[in-house]
């Protein structure tokens, strides 16, 4: 457990350091424009507002698992987190989930206004691809391949499709298959592509990539199920947002379909599936422990 925490803390510290650099004015030297400082403030506000950094950590750890240089993959890790953060900014907007709080702090649109929040999300989306493509510590072919995979996972057939489906599920009792497909795209695609990008950076084999995807598809679905559970059983202060929002919006979830206990059982089953996918690889202990930690989390 100590090794797990020390590795996780080191990964998160590296990611946070690089993220802060990417949204600093020094990174835009020679490209200054009116309004840049205000926009960088809005971008940095959401990008630095806590978060588990699970997706970028997965990039680093799958790169490391398959004998790649994890430090060289940090730009890819940061790109994933920028996409994730932009999606949260837009998800909180009044036209989407209309949430005023994110991780215990006012949502971006509450802090900076609707238009600036929308633009901050747009700016992070585009900065993600600039970040992934411009790091010369990775071969150009690696950068292009990783950026392409990220674009597909985050786009109209991936995360965005899941967000559209999630909105459509409000106000009705969706079938379990619809909920699973929604979560696979809205939550699971960014988690899956995090492993894919780490594998690309490491030059992993097709077999290794397949096992990495199997792991992430399982923990991605388990992650969302635990989110649904915490929306019923969680603590408002610990979650940093109101609980019961799914029920208030009459949104179909695993808990509304399966019940609380069956949802817990299913999340545990998926966690075991994820662990089995990577346990045959040397030095997979961190990823095994991570799966357990995500299933047992309280926020």
What is the structure's pLDDT at 177? Answer: 93
Number of Cβ within a 10 Å radius of residue 293: 16
pLDDT bracket for residue 240 (50, 70, 90): low
> Which percentage of the chain shows pLDDT scores above 90?
81
pTM over 0.75: yes
> Which percentage of the chain shows pLDDT scores above 70?
95
pLDDT tens figures, 216-227: 999 999 999 999
pLDDT tens figures, 127-155: 999 999 999 999 999 999 999 999 999 99
> Do 245 and 231 form a contact (C-beta atoms < 8 A)?
yes
Taking alpha carbons only, the member of 231, 237, 284 closest to residue 255 is 231
What mean pLDDT comes out for the span 118-127? 98
Q: Using the predicted structure, report yes or no on whether residue 1 has a pLDDT greater than 60.
A: no
Q: What is the DSSP string of 108-151?
A: HHHHH-HHHHHHHHHHHHHHHHHHHHH-TTS-HHHHHHHHHHHH
Domain 2-27+34-295 has CATH 1.10.600.10: yes
pLDDT tens figures, 164-187: 998 888 888 889 999 999 999 999
């Amino acid at each position: 457990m100590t090794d797990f925490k020390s590795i996780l803390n080191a990964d998160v510290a590296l990611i946070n350091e690089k993220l802060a650099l990417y949204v600093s004015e020094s990174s835009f030297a020679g490209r200054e424009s009116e309004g840049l400082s205000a926009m960088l403030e809005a971008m940095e506000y959401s990008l630095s507002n806590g978060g588990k950094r699970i997706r970028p950590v997965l990039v680093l750890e799958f790169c490391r698992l398959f004998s790649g240089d994890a430090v060289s993959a940090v730009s890819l890790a940061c790109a994933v987190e920028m996409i994730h953060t932009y999606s949260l900014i837009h998800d909180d907007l009044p036209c989407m989930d209309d949430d005023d709080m994110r991780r215990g702090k006012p949502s971006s649109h509450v802090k900076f206004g609707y238009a600036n929040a929308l633009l901050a999300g747009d700016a992070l989306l585009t900065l993600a691809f600039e970040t992934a493509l411009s790091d010369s510590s990775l071969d150009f072919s690696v950068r292009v391949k990783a950026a392409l995979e990220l674009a597909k996972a985050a786009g109209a057939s991936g995360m965005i499709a899941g967000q559209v489906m999630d909105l459509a599920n409000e106000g009705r009792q969706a079938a379990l298959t619809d909920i699973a497909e929604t979560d696979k795209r809205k939550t699971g695609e960014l988690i899956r592509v995090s492993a894919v990008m780490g594998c690309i950076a490491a030059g992993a084999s097709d077999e290794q990539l397949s096992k990495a995807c199997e792991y992430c598809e399982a923990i991605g679905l388990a992650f969302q199920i635990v989110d649904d559970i915490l929306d019923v059983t969680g603590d408002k202060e610990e979650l940093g947002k109101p609980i019961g929002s799914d029920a208030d919006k009459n949104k179909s979830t695993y808990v509304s379909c399966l019940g609380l206990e069956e949802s817990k059982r299913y999340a545990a089953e998926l966690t075991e599936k994820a662990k089995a996918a990577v346990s045959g690889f040397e030095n997979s202990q961190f990823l095994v422990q991570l799966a357990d930690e995500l299933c047992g989390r309280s926020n």
